[in-house]
Structure formats: C-alpha cells, structure tokens
C-alpha cells in the first residue's frame, strides 16, 4: 500500500485505522523518525524505540503504558502504509 502524500505539506500522509482515516506527519530526528497522528482535536506522537537487548517496539512520546496496545497497532499500520 502506498502512502497518500499531501500536496500541501511534505512528509504528511494518511493511514486507515479501525475504518477511519487519520493524517500523519513525519518528523526526522537524529534518533529516528517521530510521527504525529492527528485525531481531530488531539494528536499522538509515536516513535520506534530500541531496547538495550536490540528489541524494537513502537512507543508514544511521552510514553503511556495505558495505551501501549493501541500504540503498537498504530505503529504497525504506519509501517505497512509506508512500504
């Protein structure tokens, strides 16, 4: 699936998650990319984190363990969209 890039803002694309379309903005950082997902009146920042053991997983910035499952699903959706 190809990302639907916005004509107005570079690095912006949309994802479909739970049958809804959300806008995502990618920010390049020295430690990797940060993604802002807009949910209307609020937004969520995600990044992929690597543990000392080399395991990689998606996390919210700032981290919130209450929504960890949702963050993992959104991160996987972003990865699939960008492939």
Task: Write the burial class of residue 49 (CB in 10 Å: 0-12 exposed, 13-18 middle, 19+ buried).
Answer: middle
Residue 51: partners with Cβ closer than 8 Å, 6 or more residues away = 57
Q: Which tops the pLDDT comparison, 55 or 8?
A: 55
DSSP string for residues in 24-65: EEEEEETTEEEEEEE-SS-EEEEEEEE-TTS-EEEEESS--G
pLDDT at 54: 85
Mean pLDDT taken over the chain: 84
Count Cα neighbours of 29 within 13 Å in the Cβ-side half-sphere.
Answer: 14
pLDDT at 62: 84
Task: Name the strand (E) or helix (H) holding 13.
Answer: strand 12-17
Whether residue 32 is predicted with pLDDT greater than 90 in this model: the reply is no
pLDDT at 1: 41
Question: Mean pLDDT throughout 13-38?
Answer: 90
User: Taking the complete model, does pTM exceed 0.85, yes or no?
Assistant: no
Q: Do you know the residue count of the chain?
A: 83
Whether residue 43 is predicted with pLDDT greater than 50 in this model: the reply is yes
Whether residue 13 is predicted with pLDDT greater than 80 in this model: the reply is yes
């Amino acid at each position: 699936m190809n990302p639907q890039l916005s004509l107005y803002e570079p690095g912006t694309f949309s994802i479909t998650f739970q049958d809804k379309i959300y806008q995502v903005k990618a920010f390049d950082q020295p430690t990797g990319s940060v993604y802002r997902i807009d949910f209307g009146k609020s937004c969520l920042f995600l990044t992929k984190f690597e543990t000392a053991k080399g395991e990689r997983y998606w996390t919210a910035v700032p981290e919130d363990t209450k929504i960890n499952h949702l963050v993992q699903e959104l991160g996987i959706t972003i990865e699939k969209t960008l492939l």
